[in-house]
Structure 1
Amino acid sequence: MHRRPEDVPTMLFDWGSIKWHVTPATVPGASSTFGEVVINPDRGHDRHLHPASDEVLYIIEGEGRQTVGDGPEFAVKAGDAVYIPMGTLHSTFNTGWRPLRIIATYTPGGEEEALRELPGFVELPPGEHPSWAVKLG
Structure 2
Amino acid sequence: MLVNPNSVSTMSLDWGSIKWFVTPSLIPGAGSTFGEVVVNPGQGHARHNHPAAEEILYVVSGEAEQTVGDGDPFPIREGDTVHIPMGVDHSTYNTTWRPLRLIVTYTPGGEEKALEGAPGFRCHAPGETPEWSRG
Structure 1 length normalisation: TM-score? 0.96
User: What's 2:63 paired with?
Assistant: 63
C-alpha deviation, 1:50, in angstroms: 0.2
User: What's 1:6 paired with?
Assistant: 6
Moved over 6 A (4+): none
CA distance in 2, matches of 1:129, 1:21: 16
State how many pairs are aligned.
135
User: What's 1:101 paired with?
Assistant: 101
Deviates most, 106-115 or 124-133: 124-133
Task: After superposition, give the CA deviation of every residue in 1:89-116 in whole Å (9 maximum; x if it has no partner).
Answer: 0000001111000000000000000110
User: What's 1:129 paired with?
Assistant: 129
Alpha carbons 2:11, 2:18 under 8 Å: kept: yes
User: What's 2:45 paired with?
Assistant: 45
User: What's 2:120 paired with?
Assistant: 120
SS in 2 for 1:25: coil
User: What's 1:74 paired with?
Assistant: 74
CA distance in 1, matches of 2:61, 2:36: 11
- Structure 2 gaps of 5+ residues are none
CA distance in 2, matches of 1:42, 1:117: 22
C-alpha deviation, 1:119, in angstroms: 2.1
SS in 2 for 1:46: strand
CA distance in 2, matches of 1:119, 1:73: 23
CA distance in 2, matches of 1:126, 1:110: 20
Task: After superposition, give the CA deviation of every residue in 1:20-47 in whole Å (9 maximum; x if it has no partner).
Answer: 0000000011000000000000000000
C-alpha deviation, 1:134, in angstroms: 2.0
C-alpha deviation, 1:3, in angstroms: 0.7
SS in 2 for 1:119: coil
Note the aligned Cα RMSD (angstroms). Answer: 0.7
SS in 1 for 2:113: helix
Alpha carbons 2:14, 2:119 under 8 Å: kept: no
C-alpha deviation, 1:4, in angstroms: 1.0
AA aligned to 2:49 is: L
- Structure 1 gaps of 5+ residues are none
Structure 2 length normalisation: TM-score? 0.98
